[in-house]
Chains A and B, each alone.
Chain A
Amino acid sequence: MLNGIIISLRQELIVTVILFLLLFIKVAGNEPRPGVILNLINILLTINLVLGFFPGPDAALFNGMFHTDRLIVLEKNILNLGTLIVSLQAYDWLKAHRQLLEFYMLLLATLTGFFFMISAGNLLMFYLGLELSTIPLTALSGFDLEKRQSSEASMKFIISSAFSSALLLFGISLLYGATGTLGFEGIVHKLDGSAFQLFAFILILSGFAFKVAAVPFHLWTADVYEGSPVPVTAYLSVISKGAVFFILVQTLYTAFKPLVGDWQKILILLSVLTMLTGNLFALRQNKLKRLLAFSSITQSGFILAGIIGASRAADASVVYFVLIYIFSNLGAFGVVALISAQTGRETIDDYRGLYAGNPMLSWVMAISLFSLAGIPPTAGFFGKFFLLMAGAGKGNYIFITIAALNMVISLYYYLRVIKAIFMDTQPAPIGKLTIPLLPNIAFLICLTGICVAGVMGWVYDYIYSLSIGL
């Protein structure tokens, strides 16, 4: 029994153990130097990642509150990988930050929260996991304590998320009233598509939509992304979003299966709105973080488009895309983080003429952006292709056309950045920067991921073999 629990919960446990380890170091009083701690933590996270690859049995524990299978293990490990990359990239910023242990404690707490959320088989566990991840995240986004924007971001974040979770809870309560159960498996049998249930579902969906920044529940995103420290923004935009997408797919495909006709329509609307709005706002941004924020909103729209497919391929494509998205977005954020930490410059205009001094960073940025834009041969192309392909499976080609044309709009602002880096000049371009080892490793991981995850067919194939259909 206990063994079973430990094996099934091993990923959560490892992260928790690391968390407590850090807590003990903190409590013990004499902290080692930041560099040592950072190396230690990153080694621990790597170990965590590697251990995560060991397969475990499928299981449903605690009366179905917690369940796990190979896809979930993989999803958690994708999050592990993302966390590791974020951590590696945060090196420059954290070295100068005094509360770095606390940063990691909170970060790992959120990660645990995501794990529980993904594994949730029950709305209560889902809610707890969500809050476990959200509350520390709000604190993290205010982690540049002296910066006005950072604290403003965290304020906006916590108010918005409190409001959102309140609405989510209201929805859950109504659903509970309508079905009498909180377990996903119980819900399925009780759903009949009545107006009341649909209302409850829309409220619950809004909670998801809030976390994945789907329009019109996205408004917090840009401000929070902009104000938060870059690594936190990176984390928010990929890990947080990815985790919520994982659980969203699961709930939609299992618990809310009877409502499939309804949620497909709703998601089509949300997806179109999300893509369009994200694009339209991204067009006019000059701050790179804000641009990436809106771009990540657009990407959410694309993922929603994939979810609509409601097929095994759709499930696989979402997971696959999140994996690729982690590489691409973190590649871009890594460059922003590095430059921001070393020079404090964050606007597109600042990036003019970057190529002359920093070809390596420029290419990382360019390739990441191409991947985000879905240009072959980067992995992003495959990700987007499969997503939209899955989305088209139900025959809504007008919608797919809109999505495809949105890719064109999004290309515009990615290319704006490329143009600034490669084609423009400015009187005081960013000088040659040194890239420390850890961010370098992170870039290497991202680039490898972008190059390999797409072209190598087995990555998708593996995910497909694990995924479930509707």
Chain B
Amino acid sequence: MIPLHYILFLSTALFFIGMYGLFTRRNIITILMSVELILNSVNINFIAFNKYLYPDRLEGLFFSLFIIAIAAAEAAVAIAIIINLYRNIRSVDVESADDMKF
């Protein structure tokens, strides 16, 4: 049996890969993709904990279920927002959306 820690390392690695993408990607859509990666790593956590530690109840599983649903909704709204932004500034480069600062 694979120890729990291994799975957690995997999810953590995925988490930070996603975070790296979120920090460095300049296309807003790719940033969104990075967010999805992060959320997935969380899901792995939940499932792994549920499976390994607390299998008598399915709280982790349900939580990840809801996360998936919300992630989808969030993605949809985010894409709508990105498209709207694209219409306004003709760009999806996050660097060009820094009108407001300081």
Contact = CB atoms under 8 A, between A and B. Distances in A.
Interface of A: 123-124, 127-128, 131, 135, 138-139, 142, 145-149, 151-156, 158-159, 162-163, 166, 169-170, 172-174, 176-177, 180-182, 222-223, 226-227, 281, 284, 290
Contact of A124 (B66, B87, B101, B102): B66
B13 interface: no
Interface of B: 8, 15, 18, 22, 28, 31-32, 35, 38-39, 41-42, 45-46, 49, 53-54, 59-60, 62-63, 66-67, 70, 73-74, 77-78, 80-82, 84-85, 87-89, 94, 97, 99-102
B9 to A, nearest CB: 13
Nearest to A131: B70
Nearest to B52: A177
Contacts of A131: 70, 73-74
A169 B67 contact: yes
Contact of A284 (B46, B66, B102): B102
Nearest to A134: B74
18 contacts: A131-B70, A131-B74, A135-B70, A138-B81, A139-B80, A148-B89, A149-B99, A151-B84, A154-B81, A155-B28, A155-B81, A155-B85, A158-B81, A173-B42, A177-B49, A180-B54, A181-B54, A227-B100
Contact of B81 (A124, A127, A142, A169): A142
A154 B83 CA distance: 11
A147 B66 contact: no
Main secondary structure of the interface of A (DSSP, over half): helix
Contacts of B94: 155, 159
A158 B45 contact: no
Contacts, number: 124
B100 A222 contact: yes
Contacts of A138: 77-78, 81
A159 B74 contact: no
B100 A151 contact: no
B81 A128 contact: no
Given A153-B100, A155-B97, A139 B35 contact: no
A135 B63 contact: no
A170 B41 contact: yes
Contacts of A166: 18, 35, 38-39, 42
Contact of B53 (A127, A177, A284, A290): A177
B65 to A, nearest CB: 10
A147 B82 CA distance: 14
Contact of B28 (A159, A174, A284, A290): A159
Contacts of A290: 100
B16 to A, nearest CB: 10
Nearest to B59: A182
B66 A128 contact: yes
Contacts of A139: 77, 80-81
B89 A152 contact: yes
B88 A159 contact: no
Nearest to B83: A151
Contacts of A159: 22, 28, 31-32, 35, 78, 94
A277 to B, nearest CB: 13
Nearest to B18: A166
Q: Which of B46, B62, B81 has the most CB of A within 10 A?
A: B81
Contacts of B60: 173, 176
Nearest to A170: B42
Contact of B97 (A152, A174, A226, A281): A152
Given A152-B88, A162-B35, A182-B59, 9 more contacts: A131-B73, A162-B74, A166-B35, A169-B39, A173-B63, A176-B49, A176-B60, A177-B8, A284-B102
A233 B16 CA distance: 32
A247 B26 CA distance: 35
